[in-house]
DNA sequence: CTAGACTTTGACATCGATGTGAGAGTCAAG
DNA sequence: CTTGACTCTCACATCGATGTCAAAGTCTAG
């Protein structure tokens, strides 16, 4: 599919899809015309990117992580070496973030509860 | 206490404490010299601010929310009227965010697990 | 009184993902 | 051939919290 369809199917702006490619997160094939040609798998890939971005990872880190995600699902554990340290750090950061969000939500809930009595 | 101590006790940069005041999140008294004078309660206040910021609320929204947080704890439910809609929206956004973070963490865990087998 | 630590205001920089627009090329349908 | 929808690249703007620096005023210990 071309970029327009991918944008439609993922809800992600074309500008961003190009940006993700620039950052090495997507590798569409090029037609003779120069048009980008994406595969069906890229729909899932974009979802993963969005999830990791939402989790606070930057595109550089995601670029390191993505090659691994493809494998882990299948059972084929790729050789993803020393970025393990980074991954653990990210995971811990996410855990802290989740805890913080819980605190914040509890706070809001208390206000909502008290206000709407 | 003055700004230096508050910064030390909260771990928040002085620059930010001034910024929070500018945004209406803190209201330190001024000494004749112009120095800001904070109360002990402001330590907690700053923590709340940091939590809500981390949860993705912007300073404007936080400025609306904070006056309420002081009360809900005590039982005195202040009249925090129509920002209720905003609060529910924020809470839902936070919930979605938590869900996304869980997804991301699971993803990272899978990779970590598969890699360090 | 003086030195040094602290504070003040104000301005400018940064960061990274994201939005937007212009000008030009591609392509399929009529 | 022409039109309209799609795509390309490139450049510039934005947003909001945060960092940092400069010049000047305040205060306290010696």
Which residues, 6 or more positions from A73, have their beta carbon under 8 angstroms from its beta carbon?
B110
Q: What is the pLDDT of residues A37-86, one digit of tens each?
A: 999 999 999 999 999 999 999 999 899 888 877 655 544 445 566 678 88
Distances (CA, A) of B91 to A82, B22, B103: 37, 25, 18
The complex scores an ipTM of 0.83
Element (H, E) at A29: strand A29-30
Select from A55, A64, A109, A110 the residue whose CB has the most chain B CBs within 10 Å, as the one to mutate to test that interface.
A55
Please report the pLDDT score of residue A66 as a whole number.
87
**What Cα–Cα distance (Å) separates residue B42 from each residue in B36, B70, B114?**
12, 11, 46
Percent of chain A with pLDDT over 70: 88
> How high is the pLDDT of residue B78?
52
pLDDT of residue B68: 80
Q: Protein B75 CA to nucleic acid D12 C1', in Å?
A: 52
Residue A7 DSSP code: H
User: Over its length of 117 residues, how does chain B's per-residue pLDDT go in tens digits?
Assistant: 999 999 999 999 999 999 999 999 999 999 999 999 999 999 999 999 999 999 999 999 899 888 887 655 544 445 566 678 888 989 999 999 999 999 999 999 988 887 776
Fold that domain B1-79 belongs to in CATH? Multidrug-efflux Transporter Regulator; Chain: A; Domain 2 (1.10.1660)
Residue A78, pLDDT score: 52
Report the CATH fold assignment for A1-78: Multidrug-efflux Transporter Regulator; Chain: A; Domain 2 (1.10.1660)
Q: Name the residue among A20, A28, A27 with its Cα closest to residue A57.
A: A20
pLDDT value, residue B115:
74
Q: Would you list the domain boundaries of chain A?
A: 1-78, 81-117
Q: Which of A64, A108, A110, A116 to mutate to test the interface with B (most CBs of B within 10 A)?
A: A108
**Helix (H) or strand (E) segment spanning residue B30:** strand B29-30
Output the pLDDT for position A82: 66
Main-chain phi, psi angles of A98, to 5 degrees: -60, -45
- The pLDDT value recorded for residue B69 is 75
**What does the pLDDT average to over A95-106?**
94
Query: CA-to-C1' distance for A20 and D3, Å?
Result: 33
Residues shown for chain B: 117
Residues A27-38 have a mean pLDDT of 94
β-bridge partners, A37: A29
B62 and B49 Cβ atoms separated by less than 8 Å = yes
DSSP A76: -
Contacts 24+ apart (CB under 8 A), B63-66: B63/B23, B63/B24, B63/B25, B65/A108, B65/A111, B66/B25
Among A71, A81, A78, A9, which residue's Cα sits nearest to residue A17? Answer: A9
The partner residue sitting opposite A95, judged by closest CB among B80, B84, B105, is: B105
Interior CA angle at A47 toward A46 and A51, to 5°? 115
């Amino acid at each position: 599919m071309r970029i327009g369809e991918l944008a439609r199917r993922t809800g992600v702006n074309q500008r961003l899809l190009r940006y993700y490619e620039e950052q090495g997160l997507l590798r569409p094939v090029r037609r003779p015309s120069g048009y980008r040609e994406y595969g069906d798998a890229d729909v899932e890939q974009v979802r993963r990117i969005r999830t990791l971005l939402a989790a606070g990872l930057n595109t550089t880190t995601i670029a390191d992580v993505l090659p691994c995600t493809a494998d882990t699902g299948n059972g084929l554990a790729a050789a993803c070496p020393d970025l393990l340290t980074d991954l653990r750090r990210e995971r811990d950061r996410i855990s802290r973030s989740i805890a913080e969000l819980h605190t914040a939500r509890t706070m809001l809930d208390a206000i909502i509860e008290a206000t709407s009595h």
